[in-house]
Structure 1
């Protein structure tokens, strides 16, 4: 079947939309290269055995169509992301996947602001006890959202997607949020934990995508009409390949932005200007993304925080001796459940975890998910999620244990 490439499309996103694999798309379109971004307007041939087209009839509703074909609303919404579905017009053509995945969050392709926004809305409809808040905006005006699950007095915070090419942490965190919400709704256990009971004692706040502008750049490459195109090319040493880009859209490393011995980190990095990584910026919290996260943290006064990064299968738990005594014990518990190695780190400053420990003297952890070279391949998502699920479940239990110490 034919498909016209839309802005922001990638091979993996199109494959996910039609429930086919990337290799099938490449085979059906010999002129394509997986190494080059797709141009909007390009007409592709999509193997159609796993999807079909439905023409909207008078009186049709989205729910009625979903019931007619045994699909979920999210299946249809995901397959028609580029269409306005709030008001169906007779004669409109809908892409219908042959079978739904049964999940809202789908980690089989690139995952950025577009996917996060749609999934947050869908999760809120499925689980109305969730709370979604905007805590700020990126340099380019993309909303930074936080999602709350639970109502307990002890607060756990997890953030992800701070480094652009580590965006896979975002769907990993969102998948855990979906599983935890489902378990709480149904009364099922997650990783052996009674989520209903736990979430009466613990509130989980997640910020799934701290760096949406950078994630878009790392995933989709640089568009000619990008408002920062000239600067980005210069900062990237003339290369149009941005898959190794870690910084935000102004070339600042957001995890070097926090006021925890920032001057020493700046001296250690030795980068005097914007680039793909390791530039701490002109001053602490100069970037709106880091500033929003710091202000949100100060407002909520979390009891325990986890920052998800890739890669290395390690857990960093200390900071210059300011960490509380229980931090090492919690790190060992997280490591036991996930298979990751707790590491006592030195020679690193100005990170979110560093600032949290310094500012609040409470347990904070940086987790390096997976092992390999960034960006980690989406094919590894199921294995990575097995690790993350166990680790975040252990973090929830560790947060609940904090209540007994207060």
Structure 2
């Protein structure tokens, strides 16, 4: 089983709903908007624009959902990876509250789209952050108070060890913060469902159409090996997979490797003993673990990050060892799938939305909160193109810095920083 994050066969791919292949771009086309990237952000943007009457062409370098949107942990979580206080410092308390509300709209958008377009993606509500150490327990209590008192969010339930253990068959966690408003889903099937809805709304999708150049002319010209698209607007949704297409954007995010395993099916009874509710669980270490149930009663367990862009260890074995720290009773269970992919993080872990030209937009930097935020980001980009840019421009007020070290030294610099954070997780 390969550990190359771009090649490993995931459980999601093996259990994907049937989906059509879209032909590569051939020849010249014109559009109102050209969307680059066939993940949740790209499909959401395209769908929103098509439903507003725009002619949209979507270009995907591989297949729809090939990147993070089809490989991730599948957790749809309220808020932002940065936390609210960083947003308050940057944009003020009132605007940070507006951003929080937009994140909740992103969760509702998932609920609405799954129902409206009849997307079969194993959507379930309920997610819990768990504490391993006393200081983390205090962090969870603070998070609950802030959410309730500052943002009026009453979906959080604090649980002590005994209540956590009534839900999870593990002694690892001393407390938990159960979020009844967040949830989890099969990310690839959700993305494929969005693409199907976009196609039905009139979006032209081209797969295996790697973009090699974008001009800033009006209209812009987007070039692939097989053709060109002339468009009044362009929206870049490639995130960690844009590579060198726009170097100024690449320097503002770091592609971080994260890895997931899927066990063999455990059977309904054993899975229910392990996790009594069908929720997603994440610890709050900096190098975190996360897990949830699958529709066919497997445990999906992820974590381990690689800031070097490489996976120097055997992914399946290393992630399995982390799984056994949580559930040692699974020592007899085989791992049937192991895969990885890249999360696009920013220095401050806040999302990075903006323009590289008045008519060329970009969405990136979801920092591990992409299932919900990518969808609502697509709506904000569509609003801006349609002339209602207030909500999109709210996010452009967040300041972002390039990762230090330049092209060759930023990875080693971040690896050193990660050693410090990993040491802190042990304290």
TM-score normalised to the size of structure 2?
A: 0.24
* Higher strand content, 1 or 2: 2
TM-score by length of 1: 0.25
Q: RCO (CA 8 Å, sep 6+): is it higher in 1 or 2?
A: 2
